[in-house]
Amino acid sequence: MTKPIELILLGAGARGAQAYASYAFEHPDEVRFVGVAEPDPIRRKRFAEEHDLDESQTFASWEEILARGQMADGALITTQDQMHVEPAVAAMQAGYNVLLEKPMADSLEGCVRLVQASEQTGRTLQICHVLRYTPFWRTLHDILESGRIGEIVTVEHRENVAWWHMSHSFVRGNWRNKELSTPMILAKCCHDLDILVWNLQHRVKRLSSVGSLFHYRPESVGPEIPLRCTDGCPIEAECPWSAIGLYLDARLLPRVRTLEEGEDAPPTWPFTTITHDLSWEGRKRAIETGPYGRCVYRCDNNVVDHQSVLMELENGVSVTMIMHGHSNEEHRSMRYDGTKATLRARFGRPDEITIYDHGKNEPEIVPIPTATSGHGGGDWGTMGSFLRVLRGEEKALTDVRASLESHLLAFAAEEARLSGQMIDMAEYRTRAELVTG
Ligand SMILES: NC(=O)c1ccc[n+]([C@@H]2O[C@H](COP(=O)([O-])OP(=O)(O)OC[C@H]3O[C@@H](n4cnc5c(N)ncnc54)[C@H](O)[C@@H]3O)[C@@H](O)[C@H]2O)c1
């Protein structure tokens, strides 16, 4: 039995501590965490207890842990969007191989710095494009690669963000304001663009985009609506975004049982985002005083709630990608129309792939292997892959140049939306001062 790979974690939040580090509980023979950097003392202590770390292995910031010298083979970096480039560059320079959360950076310049740092230091830099590591997307990718639907002619891909997830993350939460985080097309769709880059294998020649913040704005309601749901809001009982209905009694949250007065919430997202204290009183306090109790029409949000991107590939294929925050349920849906068949699919419980051959009446329902962790199996799939890459058993499925391409598309789409111009991607790529691919 080989020694487990040793990792440090920078940012023990929802993604780092819960989605990825939990892999170590099930696979102690593969990975061991030997250090954590996290300013929040409750999160730091909890992670140290769960992974059996002593005080010399816990740090209050990424700067402190990296100043200590190399402690492990790899660094898992799951800080917020605007804190990716500096710790990742510093970690690679300190000798760590890095698994970095998406988006790789909040600017084009940041993405380029990361690629350069990886190439100059010779360290692996893998971005958490978790979708590639799911049974669903691997199955879909293999079908397209096999030629089963012929030559792909046109693609429609939709990222349908549920109404309540939109309010949680992009109206009240961490990704609501592009000056504080990133534009929604980057935060939400760098995954979708990565999948399109992977599946289509021809680069985008030109793209355009439209979209706006349509609904979650002060003008959508009258002056009688207060700043918080708990301030006697006259429409609270029927509002699907009521913070009381989402976080206190949870009557509005899909797949969660309504909570009785006085009952604790389960220690899961989205409750763990709003407070450490999951008791009824703790959650009540959080929505009375914190950001997640704000009326969705009275927040400091400025990211879009719908955006469409139209792309023409170098081989003439046309692709439409639609992202919006008004879906009845969380899922992605898509169709690929080819010269031999049409493939229609949805990703999000239940996952489905169906192929309709031209000239045949019977559709083929494609079996999809069962997923075993969050994001359709992608969270642990990503961790497992990173560890195999470090053990020299496989090449990273999401190499850093492929990630650069999907991020370039997101930045270009935002520029196209704001300027109203069609973007020539060959010209846009030269701005990255790197020739990708
Ligand atoms: N791959 C995916 O599908 C996916 C899904 C959701 C979020 N994300 C991305 O994951 C990242 C983290 O998201 P999250 O929801 O876990 O956020 P989070 O806020 O829960 O976690 C970030 C953590 O970083 C800590 N931190 C702040 N300053 C620090 C410092 N100086 N040194 C070390 N740690 C510091 C924070 O205290 C916090 O605990 C974001 O970039 C987000 O966009 C990716």
Pick the closest to residue 364 from 336, 344, 334 (CA basis).
344
| pLDDT range class, residue 140, cuts 50, 70, 90 | very high
Q: How far is the CA of 340 from the centre of ligand 1 (A)?
A: 43
Q: How far is the CA of 102 from the centre of ligand 1 (A)?
A: 10
Answer for the pair 165, 241: CB distance below 8 angstroms, yes or no: no
Q: How far apart are CA 211 and CA 79, in angstroms?
A: 28
Neighbours of 135 (CB within 10 A): 18
Q: 430 vs 318, which has greater pLDDT?
A: 318
Answer for the pair 216, 297: CB distance below 8 angstroms, yes or no: yes
Neighbours of 297 (CB within 10 A): 19
> Which amino acid appears at position 366 of this protein?
V
Residue 102 pLDDT > 80, yes or no?
yes
Token pair of 194, please?
């990565």
CATH numbers and ranges of domains, the chain = 5-127 (3.40.50.720), 151-216+302-338+399-431 (3.30.360.10), 218-293 (no CATH)
Residue whose token pair is 């978790």: 130
pLDDT mean over 53-62: 98
Q: What is the pTM of this model?
A: 0.95
Mean pLDDT, the chain, as a whole number? 95
Mutate to test the pocket of ligand 1, among 9, 86, 101 (most ligand atoms within 8 A of CB): 101
pLDDT mean over 49-70: 97
In the chain, % of residues over pLDDT 90: 92
| pLDDT range class, residue 399, cuts 50, 70, 90 | confident
**Residues framing ligand 1 (Cβ under 6 A):** 10-16, 37-40, 43, 61-62, 78-81, 83, 101-102, 128, 130, 174, 187, 375
Q: Sort 370 into a burial class: Cβ within 10 Å, 0-12 / 13-18 / 19+.
A: exposed
> For the chain, what is the radius of gyration of the CA atoms?
22
Coil, helix or strand for 233? coil
Q: Which atom from ligand 1 is nearest to the alpha carbon of 182?
A: 43
pLDDT at 434: 58
Coil, helix or strand for 54? coil
Q: How far is the CA of 231 from the centre of ligand 1 (A)?
A: 31
Neighbours of 18 (CB within 10 A): 17
Q: What is the pLDDT of residues 167-180, one digit of tens each?
A: 999 999 999 999 99
| Helices 400-419 and 190-200: angle between axes, nearest 10 degrees | 120
Mutate to test the pocket of ligand 1, among 79, 82, 172 (most ligand atoms within 8 A of CB): 79
Helices (H), 13-58: 23-26, 41-50
Q: What is the pLDDT of residues 280-290, one digit of tens each?
A: 999 999 999 99
Backbone angles phi, psi at 343, to 5 degrees: -115, 130
Q: Which atom from ligand 1 is nearest to the alpha carbon of 128?
A: 1
Q: What is the pLDDT of residues 416-427, one digit of tens each?
A: 999 999 999 999
| pLDDT range class, residue 1, cuts 50, 70, 90 | low
> Which amino acid appears at position 275 of this protein?
T
Answer for the pair 104, 46: CB distance below 8 angstroms, yes or no: no
